[in-house]
Structure 1
Amino acid sequence: MPGTVLLLAASPAGKGCLVDAASVLPVLAAVPPGVLSGTETANVVELADPLEPQAVLTRLRAAAAAPGPLTVFVAGQLQLDRRQRLPHLALARTTPSTVRYTALPWHWIREELRLRAAGSTTLVLDLHADHETWEWLRANPLDCGRNNAVYGRIAPPPSRRTVAVPTYMKAVATILRSGHRPELAELHQQALARVGVDGYADLVLAAAGVAGAAVPGGFAPGPPYRPERPRPQTPDGLMDGLTDADRRHSGAAGEGDPHSAISVAVRSGRHPDADALAAHHEQAAVQAHGPGSEQALHWAEVRADLAMFAGDPSRSCRTWLGVAVARLSAGQGPDTAAVEAAVDRAHHQWGQVRDATAARELGASLADLRARVPGRRQGALDHVQRQLRQLQTQG
């Protein structure tokens, strides 16, 4: 059955433009339709800088009604309307005062896709948010519909008088132009790797459900890299992500697995209980095996993930920094995968810290570590130093 592809790139004309969204369309258009869709053949609809939200809705509705798989690529910027403070995709005529009338309400996308069969719809997103919307996203998920797979990123506002580029979407298109379409999760990771250090502050979207906040069952702002050894990534994965060796090291083998209890606590929103349980096992591992042991470090890493799920990037960053230092102190080399992963995760979580004082403190420690553990991406230390200079100007 042929698939359907909707390519939507939109951003305001004039000084309100945050991202040159339409610049990605020629690259996407060069990809064979079947590769875009993941089917043998596909119908492609392209919308470049549309003017009217009703016109976009008409095309979206027609695409949603088509049988077969639907893939929606969206590049653009998010803004809130002043009356209801709901996210909208800004269109060519959108200004801050006219969002309600000239932009596409995000919930229109969700509603039009709501009746499609589960698993038949994929959204690939490269969105930038203005300052007001970025703050809103810290407390509210961007609801894309629970039946849809969603991959991509939401980037913070660019520097003043700077127009950003949809680098994530361009990376996706460049990969697909080879004619090979990896599995979506793999495609997503490859694109994030190409974005590099510029994506450390992004909210990363990679699952099904809602996006924009570190919540169980939804999307969490995840680090733009692929860890090389299996470890817990989601509340459910706190147990499933472990190897048999991990289970033995952490004392988790057999009945009464503490990871299961931690997963239940996280899913029910009892974050302090989850952390207390992990802390108990960490302390027991320290007493039995020493602070630099794999058993103790495993539980420290679990606690770093739990802090992320609890929406506490400062604590998560600090914990990952501690894990990295402990591994280095134990004699592990700066190019060891586990050391690099710890520093990369600390770097990512640092990008989520909004308190300037905490960000300066953690950033200084991160810069020291980055000098020892540069990681596999060029420019990581420069990124930290540049962000620290900006933080210093904030007083």
Structure 2
Amino acid sequence: MVINGEYTTPGTALLLAAAPAGRGRLTDAASVLAALAAVPPSALTGTDAATVVELADPLEPQTVLTRLRAVASAPGPLYLYLAGQLQLDRKQRLVHLALARTTPATVRYTGLPWHWLAGELAVRPPGSTTVVVDLVADAECWQHLSGGGFGLGPGVRMYGRIAAQPFRRTASAPGYLKAMAAIWRSGARPPMDQLHELAAARSESEGALLFAPVHGAPSGPPAAGPAVPGQSDRRPGPADAPVPAPDPHPAILSAARAGRHTEAAAAASAWESEALRTHGPGSVQALHWLEVRADLAHLAQDPGRSCELWMMAAGVRLRGAQTADDPEVEAAVDRAHHEWGQIDDPARARTLAQDLVALRRRVPGRQRGALQLLQQRLDQLEIRETGAARPS
């Protein structure tokens, strides 16, 4: 809904509640939506004009990604209120937001990778995005998070809590967000820092990981863990001793090789955001970090995301001064094609195939018959799914 006010650019709030159906559910995430819906929209965004979008128990990660991209492209402040549970992909060691169809065995395909969220929000202007989380982590994910480094990059303010799964494995309630809603419905409008403290105190958050931006900085890492690799210390140094900025690449690569893929992807997204802000879209610097993100997705064994990012990189080059036979363009398309060939989820492969086919027709590359090979594998995927060949 849209509420008219004096601001020409309204704020946007996305209320996302997601948890698996059945016995795997650790939190009754959707129960908080009624409480948040009763809050005046202006309270959710801090603006007189507000657009509020609800997404309750989505089934597919692509559905969530589409909504995220839509709200991330909106001007004005963005607030994301997120209730749900986190699970760890045991093969890739990546944190995912569990969705309605997620099970421990299928989280890699049915959950929303946390670094997707970080990547979509990283393109927004620093300080314009606030994420408020009320999450529960299963036992394996909780152990992983306890090592620190969890967040959404330096451009996003993050508040909230992550709790360990209940001892008796009964579904808990998102009490932190419900406490926030109760405070707002009382008519109070405290600053977000104070609101966070009140909600944490009222929701029995002892033992949970609590998140809040670093005081004195417009945006920063969560208080519960160390800074993202490549992010400088905010402690002041001697005025007459300037410190050269360290190269962030070794730290990011080290995190990825250590299996901290969410951390590495968030850091690369933050550097890409900085490059976009400083040098602009289509710049060599921004394109470099886009391709770093594609490489990190490959290291994380997420060929679908890597394919998508390499296609984006090829598109940026083609929209610039580079031609379809430029070696860098061909290399980007070849890598996208290679990653697409590694996707073992037929639905995900078909989703990306339309853009990849169009890109291959424009950039045939040096490998003979690349487009035909692409089409043949697409036909095989459809045969596997339907049990019959496509009609000619």
Counterpart in the other structure of 1:209: 220
Identity %: 58
- Aligned residues of 1:140 and 1:212 also touching (Cα < 8 A): no
Pair 1:32 & 2:40 matched: yes
Looking at structure 1, the residues matched to 188 and 76 of structure 2 have their Cα atoms a distance apart, in angstroms, of 20
Counterpart in the other structure of 1:373: none
Pair 1:16 & 2:27 matched: no
Looking at structure 2, the residues matched to 236 and 161 of structure 1 have their Cα atoms a distance apart, in angstroms, of 42
Query: Structure 1 regions of 5+ residues with no counterpart?
Result: 219-233, 238-255, 257-263, 265-395
Pair 1:149 & 2:157 matched: yes
| CA deviation vs aligned residue, 1:303-328 (integer Å, no higher than 9, x gap) | xxxxxxxxxxxxxxxxxxxxxxxxxx
Counterpart in the other structure of 2:12: 4
Pair 1:168 & 2:176 matched: yes
Change (3 A) 1:177 1:85: same
Q: Measure how far apart 1:163 and its partner are.
A: 1.0
Query: Structure 2 regions of 5+ residues with no counterpart?
Result: 1-8, 214-218, 244-392
Looking at structure 2, the residues matched to 141 and 15 of structure 1 have their Cα atoms a distance apart, in angstroms, of 30
Change (3 A) 1:100 1:217: closer
State how 1:90-105 maps to structure 2 within 5 Å.
Answer: 90-105=98-113
Q: Measure how far apart 1:173 and its partner are.
A: 1.1
| CA deviation vs aligned residue, 1:285-313 (integer Å, no higher than 9, x gap) | xxxxxxxxxxxxxxxxxxxxxxxxxxxxx
Looking at structure 2, the residues matched to 190 and 175 of structure 1 have their Cα atoms a distance apart, in angstroms, of 9
Counterpart in the other structure of 1:183: 191
State how 1:275-354 maps to structure 2 within 5 Å.
Answer: none
Residue of structure 1 aligned with 2:84, choices 57, 62, 76: 76
Looking at structure 2, the residues matched to 40 and 217 of structure 1 have their Cα atoms a distance apart, in angstroms, of 34
Q: Residue type of the partner of 1:119? A: G
Change (3 A) 1:211 1:79: farther
- 2:136 aligned counterpart, secondary structure: strand
Change (3 A) 1:212 1:100: farther
Q: Measure how far apart 1:199 and its partner are.
A: 1.4
Q: Residue type of the partner of 2:137? A: A
Q: Residue type of the partner of 2:211? A: L
Q: Measure how far apart 1:212 and its partner are.
A: 7.2
Structure-1-length-normalised TM-score: 0.54
Alpha-carbon RMSD = 2.3
Residue of structure 1 aligned with 2:93, choices 76, 85, 92: 85
Q: Residue type of the partner of 2:208? A: D
Q: Measure how far apart 1:41 and its partner are.
A: 1.0
- Aligned residues of 1:8 and 1:74 also touching (Cα < 8 A): yes
Change (3 A) 1:74 1:140: same
- Aligned residues of 2:15 and 2:81 also touching (Cα < 8 A): yes
Q: Measure how far apart 1:82 and its partner are.
A: 2.2
| CA deviation vs aligned residue, 1:3-61 (integer Å, no higher than 9, x gap) | 00000000000111100000000000001111111000111100011111100110010
| CA deviation vs aligned residue, 1:165-214 (integer Å, no higher than 9, x gap) | 1110111111112233211101101111212xx31100000114344744
Q: Residue type of the partner of 2:226? A: V
Pair 1:199 & 2:205 matched: yes
- Aligned residues of 1:77 and 1:129 also touching (Cα < 8 A): yes
Residue of structure 1 aligned with 2:128, choices 107, 113, 120: 120
Q: Measure how far apart 1:235 and its partner are.
A: 8.5
- 1:182 aligned counterpart, secondary structure: coil
- 1:47 aligned counterpart, secondary structure: strand
Looking at structure 2, the residues matched to 191 and 216 of structure 1 have their Cα atoms a distance apart, in angstroms, of 24
The number of residues matched between the two structures is 223
Looking at structure 2, the residues matched to 161 and 73 of structure 1 have their Cα atoms a distance apart, in angstroms, of 24
Counterpart in the other structure of 1:359: none
Q: Residue type of the partner of 1:130? A: D
- 1:186 aligned counterpart, secondary structure: helix
Change (3 A) 1:8 1:213: same
- Aligned residues of 1:144 and 1:209 also touching (Cα < 8 A): no
Q: Measure how far apart 1:83 and its partner are.
A: 1.9
- Aligned residues of 2:148 and 2:225 also touching (Cα < 8 A): no
- Aligned residues of 1:11 and 1:91 also touching (Cα < 8 A): yes
Change (3 A) 1:58 1:217: closer
